[in-house]
């Protein structure tokens, strides 16, 4: 099957429509029943895009319906984008009241999805960045008689760039409709593997920073189950010791929890790097077999488990050292307050 027809089918499938299948499929000679097995041949990036948000959920289908309507009536949508130093301000409008209503519904739903972290995407490279950084984005929406004035800002330069790039993507969709969608799908399908370049690494599975962190006994997010559930960690407690009002005794106990954790984590980290290097060597030399792989992975998993335990246990020990009030202020100081909502939004 030609790549263009696969793309058309993937898009049509995601939009949940038969009409588009016909439009794109006829010229390349595809008959009915083509939606069967429609995901075959899609590249990983496309699959990721098409599946993000869950293909089978009602909200997803409703949102796809709105997108479909906007793509169909793109010629009636006018759009102006201004880049701000820290974001974007866009005006998107339509004289046709039905199109204007669809546009408003789309924007309202997307803003809610962003706030709640329910990603919705097909082929955009910028939408994943926006959803990953949603706590760094401020959104203000003003509905006009004919559409929407949409302002988004961020203090993070990378996020600002993604906001501005996404605004360009939306402008292209509004200008070219389904043709822009096809271009985006093609670009997503031909994007290089996210691992490209990593074949140069000494140990393919670990970045230079991973190796440094392991050798230095750093946390590497291994204690998130504790840290984000109100069990403070010794390294950050020491950093915040003044603000938390630690007594001399508490400080000394924290330091000894930290030192013990770090010494153990360094030793385990060193063994882990060595075992990963060995696994890499097995593959690089093509000496690997099912048996050597099994024993290598058993050792690696054991070390990973122990390393995680060392970090998590340090949080357990640390929590015993602190008062409930100190734990509460740690949670605030680390920015974990306001659990259950994403914060930082203003709609
Ligand atoms: C003709 C087609 C489309 C139009 C006119 C349109 C319009 C808009 C507008 C006006 C915004 C507010 C941001 C801005 O103005 O730059 C927006 C945001 C968004 N759109 Fe669309 N859109 C279209 C297609 C799509 C498609 C195909 C998807 C994904 C499948 C999508 C997903 C999103 C998402 C996730 C946001 C939220 C981004 C954020 O809050 O930063 N849109 N869209």
Model confidence pTM above 0.75: no
Question: Measured from the CB, is residue 11 less than 6 Å from ligand 1?
Answer: no
Among 110, 126, 153, which is best to mutate for testing ligand 1, by the most ligand atoms less than 8 A from CB?
110
Q: How would residue 10 be classed by pLDDT, with cut points 50, 70 and 90?
A: low
Contact between 339 and 257 under an 8 Å Cβ cutoff? The reply is no
Query: Which atom of ligand 1 lies nearest, measured to the CA of 71?
Result: 1
- The mean pLDDT value of the chain amounts to 85
What's the DSSP call for residue 199?
G
pLDDT at residue number 318 = 98
Question: Measured from the CB, is residue 67 less than 6 Å from ligand 1?
Answer: yes
**20 and 130, same structural domain?**
yes
- Environment class of residue 173 by beta-carbon count within 10 Å: exposed (0-12), middle (13-18) or buried (19+)? buried
Domain that holds residue 204: 200-333
User: Where a domain ends, among 147, 166, 196?
Assistant: 196
- The string of pLDDT tens digits covering residues 206-223 is 998 899 999 999 988 899
Q: Whose CA is nearest to atom 10 of ligand 1?
A: 92
Centre of ligand 1 to C-alpha 165, Å, is 12
* Statement: residue 25 has pLDDT above 50: no
Report how many domains make up the chain.
2
Q: How far apart are CA 326 and CA 345, in angstroms?
A: 28
User: Where a domain ends, among 168, 196, 224?
Assistant: 196
User: Is residue 341 in some structural domain?
Assistant: no
Element (H, E) at 226: helix 224-227
- The string of pLDDT tens digits covering residues 192-251 is 787 888 888 889 999 988 999 999 999 888 999 999 999 999 999 999 999 999 999 999
């Amino acid at each position: 099957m030609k790549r263009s027809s696969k793309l058309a089918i993937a898009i049509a499938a995601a939009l949940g429509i038969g009409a588009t299948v016909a439009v794109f499929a006829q010229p390349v000679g595809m008959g009915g029943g083509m939606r069967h097995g429609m995901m075959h041949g899609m590249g990983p990036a496309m699959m990721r895009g098409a599946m993000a948000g869950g293909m089978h959920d009602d909200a997803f289908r409703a949102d796809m319906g709105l997108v479909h309507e906007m793509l169909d009536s793109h010629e009636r949508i006018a759009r102006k984008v201004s880049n701000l130093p820290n974001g974007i301000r866009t005006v998107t409008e339509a004289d046709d009241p039905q199109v204007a209503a669809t546009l408003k519904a789309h924007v309202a739903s997307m803003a809610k999805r962003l706030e709640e972290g329910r990603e919705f995407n097909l082929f955009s490279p910028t939408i994943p960045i926006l959803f990953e950084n949603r706590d760094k984005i401020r959104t203000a929406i003003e509905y006009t008689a004919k559409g929407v004035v949409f302002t988004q800002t961020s203090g993070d330069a990378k996020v600002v760039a993604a906001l501005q790039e996404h605004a360009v993507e939306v402008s292209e969709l509004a200008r070219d409709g389904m043709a822009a969608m096809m271009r985006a799908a093609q670009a997503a399908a031909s994007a290089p593997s996210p691992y490209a370049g990593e074949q140069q690494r000494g140990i393919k599975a670990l970045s230079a920073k991973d190796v440094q962190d392991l050798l230095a006994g750093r946390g590497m997010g291994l204690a998130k189950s504790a840290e984000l559930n109100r069990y403070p960690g010794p390294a950050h407690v020491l950093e915040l010791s003044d603000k938390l009002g630690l007594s001399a005794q508490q400080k000394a106990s924290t330091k000894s929890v930290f030192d013990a954790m770090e010494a153990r984590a360094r030793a385990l980290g060193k063994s882990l790097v060595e075992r990963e290097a060995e696994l890499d060597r097995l593959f690089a030399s093509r000496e690997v077999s099912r048996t050597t792989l099994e024993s290598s992975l058993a050792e690696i998993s054991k070390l990973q488990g122990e390393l995680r335990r060392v970090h998590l246990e340090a949080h357990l020990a640390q929590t015993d050292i602190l008062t409930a009030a100190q734990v509460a202020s740690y949670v605030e100081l680390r920015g974990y307050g306001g659990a259950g909502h994403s914060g930082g939004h203003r709609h």
